[in-house]
């Protein structure tokens, strides 16, 4: 299964859960999940997503990070991204919440797809301007490529940062 197919499945899962359907049915055996791969990659993603920093045990040193957007143009490593988010999540957006929507494991590509929604209000300090007290509700996804030991090698974030920063009053 290719990356774009996984994204489609993740977002179909979000849609199905919104209307009360269980999709995909993991108990049916239609999808072969590797619990070790999910656990290792998700620990790092969940820690980072909750502004707790990088879990080095489940990430290779120098793991790459990419994102097409304004906010993260100079961030090229997963460590750098986790450091950035720890600063933002514990400073300007203190008190944020993450609603993890869905997760999928692509055995063929040895990759994890994770989709979530963040709700955050700029009430904390740390920006070069005072808190705006404006809120964003922003959807995003991560695609994490794993190595043979199920450690994260690279992460791609799919996120409309321009929209989120506009809602927060930052641009």
- DSSP for 118-166 reads EEEE--SS-SSS-----EEEEEEEEEEEE-TTS-EEEEEEEE-HHHHHH
Supply the range of the domain harboring residue 39. 3-167
Strand pairing category for 59-67 and 152-159: parallel
| Rounded Cα distance, 10 and 128, in Å | 36
Q: Which of 170, 153, 159, 166 is nearest to 64 (CA)?
A: 153
CATH code for position 79: 3.10.450.50
Strand pairing category for 135-146 and 111-121: antiparallel
List helix spans (H) across 35-77: 35-49
Q: Which of 95, 76, 83, 87 is nearest to 136 (CA)?
A: 95
Predicted pLDDT of residue 69: 87
Beta bridge partners of 120: 136
The total number of structural domains in the chain stands at 1
Predicted pLDDT of residue 118: 96
Predicted pLDDT of residue 132: 97
Tens place of pLDDT per residue across the chain (171 aa): 444 445 444 444 544 444 444 444 445 555 555 677 678 777 888 889 999 999 888 999 999 999 998 889 999 999 999 999 999 999 999 999 999 998 878 888 999 999 999 999 999 999 999 999 999 999 999 999 999 888 999 999 999 999 999 999 999
Tell the burial category of 36 from Cβ atoms under 10 Å away from its Cβ (0-12, 13-18, 19+). Answer: exposed
Q: What is the pTM of this model?
A: 0.78
Q: What angle do CA 83, 89, 95 make, to 5 degrees?
A: 155
Residue 156 near residue 134, CB atoms below 8 Å: no
């Amino acid at each position: 299964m290719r990356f774009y197919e996984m994204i489609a499945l993740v977002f179909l899962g979000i849609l199905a859960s919104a209307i009360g359907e269980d999709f995909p049915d993991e108990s049916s055996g239609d999808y072969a999940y590797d619990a070790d791969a999910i656990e290792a990659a998700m620990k790092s993603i969940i820690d980072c997503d909750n502004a707790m920093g990088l879990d080095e045990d489940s990430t290779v040193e120098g793991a790459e990070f990419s994102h097409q957007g304004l906010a993260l143009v100079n961030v090229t490593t997963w460590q750098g991204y986790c450091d950035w988010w720890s600063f933002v999540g514990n400073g300007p957006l203190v008190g944020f919440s993450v609603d993890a929507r869905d997760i999928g494991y692509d055995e063929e590509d040895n990759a994890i797809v994770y989709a979530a929604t963040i709700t955050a209000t700029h009430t904390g300090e740390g920006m070069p301007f005072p808190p705006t007290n404006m809120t964003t509700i922003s959807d995003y996804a991560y695609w994490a490529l794993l190595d043979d030991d199920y450690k994260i090698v690279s992460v791609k974030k799919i996120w409309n940062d321009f929209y989120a920063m506009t809602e927060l009053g930052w641009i």
